[in-house]
Amino acid sequence: MILLNTRTSTNGFDGRLILYYVLLVIIGWMTIFSTSYNAANPQEFSFALPYVRQLVWIGTSVVIAVGILLLESRIIQHSGYYVYAFCLLLVLSTFVLGSKVNGATSWIKIGSFSIQPTEFMKLATALTLAQFFTEGKTVGQRRRLWVIAFAIILIPALTILLQKDTGSALVFLSFVVLFYREGMSGLIFVFGAIAVFLAVFTLMFNEIYAVALLTLVLVIAWIIDRRDKKKVLRNIIVFVVAVLFVAAVNIAYEKVLQPHQKQRIDTLMGKTSDPKGADFNLIQSKIAIGSGGFFGKGYLNGTQTKLNFVPEQSTDFIFCAIGEEWGFVGSCAITALFLMLVIRILRLSEKQRSPFVRYYGYGIAGIIAFHFFINIGMTVGLVPIIGIPLPFISYGGSSLWAFTGMLFIFIKLNDN
Amino acid sequence: MNSQQNSRKYILIVTVMLILAVVYLIKLFSLQVVNKDYAEAAKNNALRQITEHPDRGLIYDRNDSLLVFNDAAYDLMVVPKELRTFDTLDLCRILDITKEELETRIEKASAYSKIIPSLFAQQMSKEDYGYLQEKMFKFPGFFVQTRTLRSYPEAVAAHILGYVGEVSEQTMEDDPYYKMGDYIGISGIEKAYETELRGVKGQRVVLVDVNNREIGSYHNGEEDVKAVPGTALWSTLDLRLQRYGEQLMQNKRGSIVAIEPKTGEILCIVSSPGYDPNLLVGKDRSKNYRMLLMDSIKKPLFNRALQAMYPPGSTFKLANGLIAQEEGILTANTIYPCPGGYQVGSHKIGCHHSGPTNLMSAVQHSCNTYFCKAFYNIISNKSKYKTIQQGYTAWREHIMKLGFGTTFDTDLPYEKKGILPSADYFDRVYLGHWNGNSVVSMGIGQGEVCVTPIQMANMLAVIANRGYYVRPHVIKAIGTKDHLNTQYMDKVNVDIKPQYFDPIIEGMEMAATAGTARGAQIEGIRVAGKTGTAQNPHGRDHSVFALIAPVDDPQIVVFCLVENGGWGASVACPIASLIAELYLTGEVKRKAVEENMLNLSLK
């Protein structure tokens, strides 16, 4: 197996990961510069400018990265629970101290800077799971351990959900990559896929059609399995569960989701079209990316992103600027860079003898991949608009610090 | 858990990610490379094409006095596609319109185009503009465009200058140059010289951000097209004369047309009652237009100089005198006896003079008998024409050559042809049985013939020029004052020998010195004149006067008609003469006459 290199020792920190990191951060800063730079109307240098602030974040990130590389691996490996507890406290504190940004109360203001504890919560959860799995040893066999593992991701996820930061909460789903690797049944994915299909079907049409579809499937299953009473019974149970699920989706959609979230889902399902209202963000985002063409308009030549047509153009929608200015070529490059980064982490994880590093590597690879696919997907209309940043690239200190920490902890642990 | 199983999971995870990535790249490829709509959309999104409306060409009079200029106006434009929720009430309040009106306008604009800016509210006041400009960020999809409005330093010559208005949908369909909300000349000079006056629209491409703010020019303005201002025009009108003519015609109905005979240049053309051209400018234009249109008493929009058809009266005798000579019916010295009237069967056309009369004296005294006889002889000339139809047709052709029964088709708006019946018409009316006496009243300008003041003035020009005219027109030069408007400079020959004009002019001069037209005398200038009294079946006769001056080298011909003015000598004669005096001497010395005419009210 080529992929499973059995080399037992590594020499120094992984240069390629550091290279990918540096490239992504540089691309990120250049793009942030481009979105706020206006040749016709140059702004005075000021700390209010996003690209200036991002420089500060990058500088501090380098300090964090170097600090992590100087730490004892042992300390990192045993700090998971404390970090988790601390971050959870921070997240909870936003209920009291938090200020509202984009409908979510997940920010803590410190002077002129705000931090978002949820970003660090992801890192903390990855560390904790790694530590928990390492200490629980044979996780695959023990149901109780799985329950705790799920609890570890659900506690922060639900807390964050309560803060109406749905996007960040959903990120915790990415740990299924780690769970799958460490023995969770693949059937969960099959069930997951069916559940997603049912949910989408319900939202796209309505619950009555969904139940009708399930009934049709039940009848077909009954025709096939009619001789086997046990199977018939099983089919009926599955049917009832599925109907309950459809009902739950419906209730969630009607009662739990915020109006703007409902609108986003409706837009994605093609149920409504309102180019001036809710669709506006997506349309503007697609126009920006689509107008880039094959080679793009050239660096600093974007019009859509520079003129504030695209919402959140330096944070969640930063890919629009890349798509517009660098075109399809740039889209490919960014995709390739992220894929290489994630696959490199997975590959190094597989090579690791230390299970902790493997657990941790799979955890953060899942997070980064999830962020990438959801972020790009929402800008091109493949997934609903979920406000999560593009790792290393989007403007924002919390996000950059958290992802830098995440990656450099892996780099540090990997060199052991 | 064996390592083979784990490596399979690793491969599966990586494969799923690769497949996802490929799906994403396919989506990106379709979005960025295959689908061209987005590039187009981006252009409309961030770039706004702002039409630069050029200033309309200025119009000067023949002495470089400004007749029409431009004033700044602010139009509110809307781009329906860029509209987003805004405070409709606030905008309604600023513009002083109802919510329904606002919605109707937006619908209308959307129906025209979603992305091309449409006119939403025109000609806001400077105050409204200033107020709105500050609040512009609150109204995405709207922007203000400056342009100019016509303005008139003096409220004269409204009929001839015409007016501009918003282009009609039909015109937009026919001519792609015009976009919704553009202005176009609708009548008068504005219409006739639309292509010269309008200039060439320019275009500025600016970057706008999502909040409707202009960020700067696109490509450093490389794609901008500068607007070319409209061409200036020099009118043949003499502002002073025009103004004076309109003053003289105050509180009267009728018309004055003065022409420089050698060039056909109209020096003044008055139709009274008129209106202030400033009324047909700005946002109240349609309201004012309706008001003018509804005024059925004054009919201010009716251009009497070109459209009113009157029986020409005695001034028509001049034409018949010319035709009779050309047809060989009489010479200057042919004498007809006048027994104080012309007998037609049991009916007698009276004449206020009597005795033997030659042509000059017939003109001088406006002898009805003489011209009835002459007319009868022209059309009943058995030696030349077998039938009355042929004789009449020959006469009619002469009359048409003099410019009657037809239009000049120059830059004058909406001319009427007048009435000049053909022989067929009389065949129908008299069931084929008619003779020279049936229509003899046409010999003295009564009966079936009707003419417009401009046609009469043109006939005077023919007499002054001794045989030709230049079609009357109102634009002298285009662009620069020495770049002459050559389209109307041809001489039109009327096929009457020059010598036949002498007795006519002589008779007219005699009339002005010792005849019906004595009131036309101007100190130091030889004036030729002819009075007329156009019979008016609806009321008091119209006062008519024809004037040529100076006789030795005519510089001006004036035709004046004052409705219900009575005798030609009473009103039309002094007015025409005052006009000529002002034009030829630069001042009016007969203050008493002037005073009289200014104060005369025939309303």
Q: Which positions in chain B touch A343 (Cβ < 8 Å)? A: 14, 17
pLDDT at B111: 78
pLDDT tops 70 at residue A280: no
Q: Do the Cβ atoms of B574 and B564 come closer than 8 Å?
A: no
Q: What is the pLDDT of residues B207-218, one digit of tens each?
A: 776 666 676 776
Q: Look at residue B516 and tell me whether its pLDDT is greater than 80.
A: no
**What mean pLDDT do residues B440-469 have?**
92
pLDDT at A3: 38
Q: Is the pLDDT of residue A213 over 80?
A: yes
* Res B526: pLDDT: 92
User: What local confidence, expressed as pLDDT, does residue A387 receive?
Assistant: 81
**Quick check: A380 contacting B, CB < 8 Å?**
yes
Name which of A288, A335, A350 is nearest B42 (Cβ-Cβ).
Answer: A288
* CA–CA distance, B117 with B141 (Å, rounded to integer): 9
| CA separation for the pair B479, B477 (Å, rounded) | 7
Which residue is closest to A277 within chain B, CA to CA? B84
B372 contacts B366 by C-beta, under 8 angstroms: no
Write the burial class of residue B433 (CB in 10 Å: 0-12 exposed, 13-18 middle, 19+ buried).
Answer: exposed
Which residue from A307, A332, A369 is facing B207, i.e. has the nearest CB? A307
- Among B181, B212, B174, B213, residue whose Cα is nearest residue B53: B181
- Per-residue pLDDT band at B338 (split at 50, 70, 90): confident
Longest dimension (CA), chain A: 80
Which residues in chain B touch residue A291, judged by CB atoms under 8 angstroms apart?
38-39, 41-43
- Nearest-angstrom CA–CA distance, B367 and B342: 10
pLDDT band for position B568 (cuts 50, 70, 90): confident
Rounded to an integer, what is the distance from CA B132 to the centroid of its chain?
A: 37
Q: What percent of chain B has pLDDT over 70?
A: 95
Between strands B47-52 and B202-208, the pairing is antiparallel
What is the rounded average pLDDT of the residues B467-495?
A: 91
Taking CA–CA distances from A343, the nearest residue in chain B reads B14
User: Are the C-beta atoms of B392 and B423 separated by less than 8 Å?
Assistant: yes
Residue A8, pLDDT score: 42
**Which ranges in B403-449 belong to alpha helices (H)?**
423-429
User: Residues 16 to 35 of B: which have CB under 8 A from any A CB?
Assistant: 17-18, 20-21, 23-25, 27-29, 31-33, 35
* Cβ pair B264, B486 in contact under 8 A: no
Residues facing B475 on adjacent strands: B235
B212 contacts B139 by C-beta, under 8 angstroms: yes
Cβ-Cβ contacts under 8 Å, B1 against chain A: 140, 183
Does B384 contact A at CB distance below 8 Å?
no
Separation of alpha carbons A172 and A129, rounded Å: 12
Are A328 and B32 inside 8 Å of each other by CB? yes
Q: Which of A257-261, A333-337, B501-505 has the lowest average pLDDT?
A: A257-261
- CA distance, residue B37 to nearest chain A CA (Å): 8
| Tokens standing for residue A271 | 């149920």
> Could you give the CA distance from residue A64 to residue A53 in angstroms, rounded to a whole number?
17
Q: What are phi and psi of B62, to 5 degrees?
A: -70, -15
The answer to whether B42 contacts A291, with C-beta atoms less than 8 Å apart, is yes
Asked if the model's pLDDT at residue A106 lies above 70, the reply is no
Distance from CA of B413 to the nearest CA of A (A): 48
Q: State the Cα–Cα distance between residues B140 and B117, nearest whole angstrom.
A: 13
- Please name the helix (run of DSSP H) or strand (run of DSSP E) that holds residue B558, with its range, or none: strand B556-562
State the average pLDDT over residues B305-323: 91
DSSP for B269-301?
EEEES---GGGGSSTTHHHHHHHHHH-TTT-TT
Residue numbers of A between 27 and 86 with CB closer than 8 Å to B = 38-41
Instruction: Name the band, by pLDDT with cuts 50, 70 and 90, for residue A10.
Output: very low
- Identify the pLDDT of residue A311: 67
**A40 vs B contacts (CB less than 8 Å):** 207, 215-217
pLDDT tier at B1, thresholds 50, 70, 90: very low
How does pLDDT run across A44-96, given as a tens digit for each residue? 677 778 888 899 999 999 999 999 999 888 899 999 999 999 999 999 888 87
**Would you say residue B584 has pLDDT above 70?**
yes
Give domain limits for chain B: 3-35, 47-235, 239-599
Dihedral angle sign, alpha carbons of residues A311, A313, A316, A320: positive
Residue of B nearest to A310 (CA): B210
Residue B71's φ and ψ, nearest 5 degrees, are: -125, 145
**Cβ atoms of B372 and B342 closer than 8 Å:** yes
Residue B223 has pLDDT above 60, yes or no: yes
B203 contact A CB<8A = no
DSSP state of B228: B
How does residue B455 score in pLDDT terms, banded at 50, 70 and 90?
A: very high
Task: State chain B's mean pLDDT as an integer.
Answer: 87
B500 φ/ψ angles, rounded to the nearest 5 degrees:
-70, -15
pTM: 0.60
Amino acid letter, residue B277: P
For strand B528-534 and strand B542-549, is the pairing parallel, antiparallel, or unpaired?
Answer: antiparallel
**A286 contact residues in B (CB cutoff 8 A):** 31, 38
Q: What band does A328 get if pLDDT is binned at 50, 70 and 90?
A: very high
Q: Which of A373-382, B70-79, B159-168 has the lowest mean pLDDT?
A: B70-79
Q: What percent of chain B has pLDDT over 90?
A: 38
Residue A275: is its pLDDT beyond 60? no
Residue B218 is predicted with a pLDDT of 65
pLDDT at B213: 65
What would the mean pLDDT of B82-97 be, rounded to a whole number? Answer: 82
| Whole-Å CA distances, B110 to B104, B116, B120, B122, B591 | 10, 9, 11, 17, 62
Contact state of A289 with B29 under an 8 Å Cβ cutoff: no
pLDDT of the residue at A376: 94
CB of A279 closer than 8 Å to CB of A302: no
Domain positions in chain A are 15-192+267-414, 205-257
Range with the largest mean pLDDT of A54-63, B194-203, B529-538, B585-594: A54-63
Is the CATH number 3.40.710.10 carried by domain B239-599? yes
CA distances from B348 to A115, B355, B372, B388, B489 (A): 114, 16, 11, 21, 45
Residue A279, pLDDT above cutoff 70? no
Mean pLDDT of chain A, nearest integer: 83
Q: Which CATH class is domain B47-235?
A: alpha beta
